[in-house]
Amino acid sequence: MTTNRAVDVSVDAMIEDLRALVEAESPSHDVEALTASARVVAAIVEKRLGGQAVLVDGEAGPHVHWSGGGEPRVLVLGHHDTVFPLGTLHLRPFRAEGGYATGPGVFDMLGGLVQAVHGLASLDDLTGVELLVTADEEVGSPTSRALIEERARACGAVLVVEGAAEGGALKTGRKGCGTFRVAIRGRASHAGLEPAAGVNALIEAAHQVLDIASLSRPALGTTVTPTVASAGTVANTVPAQATVLVDVRVASVEEAKRVESAFVVLEPHLAGADISVSGNIGRPPMPESASAELFAVAQALLPGIEGVSVGGGSDGNFTAALGVPTLDGLGAVGGGAHADHEYVVIDAMAERAHLIAGLVHTRQHA
């Protein structure tokens, strides 16, 4: 691997950039905050890599795209939106002490972005390298998916800098995932005077929850989990409306089709009730075959590193579904994604930055 020792990986510099990203605060759906965050990302990229980082406008906020020029060979993919609302930083400020970096979004996935940028900066030649940092991954990537797929096809290989799995393992496979919303319409009536005159949407929802849960096939890696339910308005009225939200995870395209088809044909149990369903399995499964080639390179660069399949989804699901070689989990070693105890292991940052650099260098010369 050829590195530029004049701009070698510095943990102190990575911590400096990580602090800047965390302190920008970048909750999904907050376009103003994400615009400010994108500018911070772009400034760091330009400072460390040179060239121009382009802000690609989108309804969810700007995505950041940078290219080292030449024929595209590898796409480094991440996101700068986080799940934490504005003000979380005040409650949980960025800290780097005792071997850990903490703060909102530090593991998912700002630490991975910093490692990627500094890893790339250690290479003498960045020809053929592209970096794409999106603004809406945490909410399903509705405005960035087309751009992600376009650049993945052009580059022919994707390195996703989402946080590592437990113990620092890479993510060699992911389940497909999606959310469904089941809306139930009944008919209101007085719960004491004439309950039989109503159509109880809450009772219908209870029937639907049991039907929906029965769609799970754990042996095949399929989980169908009702997660949020709401119904009714006041205690003495038969509820006319109810909703159920359902989380779905699948390990195969066949199971995705089966589950989606089952939601389409859900039928009410109560006479007079009506059901409507929205949603789908928006992220297709990422099979382990998609990562095999790149994972073998990672093992050669960092002997002993492990790979695991995980239930969570990422933008790597989209690129793998295109048949583009994709390796995920190359970001920070740590844990607590989406939780108050989120952290990054500082001592692992340089090693992960060098791993990304090695993968990029190998792909450039493949």
Q: Does residue 239 sit in the same domain as residue 338?
A: no
Same domain, 73 and 189: no
Do residues 12 and 144 share a domain?
yes
Question: Which of 245, 243, 237 has its CA nearest to residue 199?
Answer: 237
Structure-token pair, residue 326: 């994709």
* Domain final residue, candidates 266, 283, 300: 283
- Domain end: 283, 302, 329, which one? 283
Give a three-class secondary structure readout of the chain: CCECHHHCCCHHHHHHHHHHHHHHCCECCCHHHHHHHHHHHHHHHHHHHCCCCEEECCCCCCEEEEECCCCCCEEEEEECCECCCCCHHHHCCCEEECCEEECCCHHHHHHHHHHHHHHHHCECCCCCEEEEEECCHHHCCCCCHHHHHHHHHHHCCEEECCCCCHHHCEEEEECEEEEEEEEEECECCECCCCHHHCECHHHHHHHHHHHHHCCCEHHHCEEEEEEEEEECCCCCECCCEEEEEEEEEECCHHHHHHHHHHHHCCCCCCCCCEEEEEEEEEECCECHHHCHHHHHHHHHHCCCCCEEEECCCCCHHHHHHCCCCEEECCCCCEECCCCCCCEEEHHHHHHHHHHHHHHHHHHHCC
Give residue 4's pLDDT: 46
State yes or no: is 162 an active-site residue.
Answer: no
190's tokens: 């007085």
pLDDT of 8 reads 80
CB atoms within 10 A of CB 264: 8
Greatest alpha-carbon pair distance for the chain in Å reads 82
Phi/psi for 192 (5° steps) reads: -100, -45
Residue 170 maps to which CATH number? 3.40.630.10
Residue 258 sits in the same domain as residue 295: no
Residue 134 near residue 144, CB atoms below 8 Å: yes
Q: Tokens 């509820």, residue? A: 239
Do residues 243 and 206 both lie within one domain? Answer: yes
Amino acid 1: pLDDT: 36
Q: Which domain holds residue 266?
A: 176-283
Last residue of a domain, one of 250, 267, 283: 283
Measured between alpha carbons, how far is 48 from 30 in angstroms, rounded to an integer?
Answer: 27
Stated pTM of the model: 0.92
Query: What does the block give as tokens for 306?
Result: 């492990």
Is 137 assigned a catalytic role?
yes
Structure tokens at 218: 């754990």
Does 87 share its domain with 218? no
The first and second tokens of residue 144, run together, are 């960035």
If asked whether residues 211 and 314 sit together in one domain, one would say: no
CATH number at residue 244: 3.30.70.360
Question: pLDDT tens digits for 222-238?
Answer: 999 999 999 999 999 99
Q: How many domains does the chain have?
A: 2
Model pLDDT, residue 7: 52
Which residues have C-beta within 8 Å of that of residue 173, sequence separation ≥ 6?
Answer: 285, 286, 287, 288, 290, 291, 308, 309, 310
26 and 170 co-located in one domain: yes
- The answer to whether residues 187 and 267 belong to one domain is yes
| Tokens of residue 251, six digits | 């390990």
**Same-domain pairing of 166 and 211:** no
> What's the mean per-residue pLDDT of the chain?
96
Q: CA–CA distance from 75 to each of 138, 189, 211, 309, 331 (Å)?
A: 19, 58, 42, 21, 14
Catalytic residue among 81, 136, 328, 342: 81
Quick one: 344 and 296 in the same domain? yes
Q: What is the pLDDT along the chain (366 residues), one digit of tens a residue?
A: 344 434 589 999 999 999 999 999 999 999 999 999 999 999 999 999 999 999 999 999 999 999 999 999 999 999 999 999 999 999 999 999 999 999 999 999 999 999 999 999 999 999 999 999 999 999 999 999 999 999 999 999 999 999 999 999 999 999 999 999 999 999 999 999 999 999 999 999 999 999 999 999 999 999 999 999 999 999 999 999 999 999 999 999 999 999 999 999 999 999 999 999 999 999 999 999 999 999 999 999 999 999 999 999 999 999 999 999 999 999 999 999 999 999 999 999 999 999 999 999 999 998
Is residue 193 domain-shared with residue 103, that is, in the same domain? Answer: no
Q: What is the pLDDT of residues 9-68, one digit of tens each?
A: 999 999 999 999 999 999 999 999 999 999 999 999 999 999 999 999 999 999 999 999
Task: Count CB-CB contacts under 10 A for residue 165.
Answer: 20
Strands 74-79 and 176-185: unpaired
Please give the C-alpha separations between residue 322 and each of 54, 63, 98, 107, in angstroms, as whole numbers.
25, 21, 42, 27
17, 30, 136, 137: the catalytic one is 137
